[in-house]
Amino acid sequence: MQYMVRMTVTLPPDLDPEVREQLVAAEKAYSQRLQQEGRIAAIWRVAGQFANYCLFDVASHDELHELVSGLPMFGYIQAEVEALATHPNSIR
Ligand SMILES: O=C(O)C[C@H]1C=CC(=O)O1
């Protein structure tokens, strides 16, 4: 099952810079592991914003929730999820 998830990240402006650096590094490692596993099929930065679109390819709503809620930055992320179905005009 595929889901397009828009994540908007709002880190507190007064967050300790060291904690921020650790969060960013942990987020990168987690995200790259999911990409290597194919559970994040693609990721794009929204130009000019601290936001991204992630295409998840997972088995269930529950797996999606587990992965999104496991993001190190989860407490600072607003996630908007759209479930994707096959488009009848798709040639793939
Ligand atoms: O957009 C961000 O930097 C936050 C984040 C969520 C997944 C990921 O790889 O990075």
Domains contained in the chain, CATH given: 2-84 (3.30.70.1060)
- If you take atom 7 of ligand 1, which residue's CA is the nearest one? 31
Interface predicted TM-score (ipTM) of this complex, two decimals: 0.94
Residues 43 and 34: beta-carbon distance below 8 Å? no
Q: How confident is the model at residue 90 (pLDDT cuts 50, 70, 90)?
A: very high
- How large is the average pLDDT for residues 55-80? 98
Q: What is the pLDDT of residue 92?
A: 87
The minimum-distance atom of ligand 1 relative to the CA of 32 is 9
Q: What is the pLDDT of residue 46?
A: 98
24: left (phi over 0), alpha (psi -120 to 50) or beta: alpha
Please give the order of strands across the beta sheet that includes 2-9: 40-45, 51-57, 2-9, 77-84
Q: Mean of the per-residue pLDDT values for the chain?
A: 98
Our answer on whether the CB atom of 27 is closer than 6 Å to any ligand 1 atom is: yes
Residues 59 and 1: beta-carbon distance below 8 Å? yes
Our answer on whether the CB atom of 35 is closer than 6 Å to any ligand 1 atom is: no
Task: Indicate the pTM of the whole model.
Answer: 0.94
- How large is the average pLDDT for residues 31-58? 98
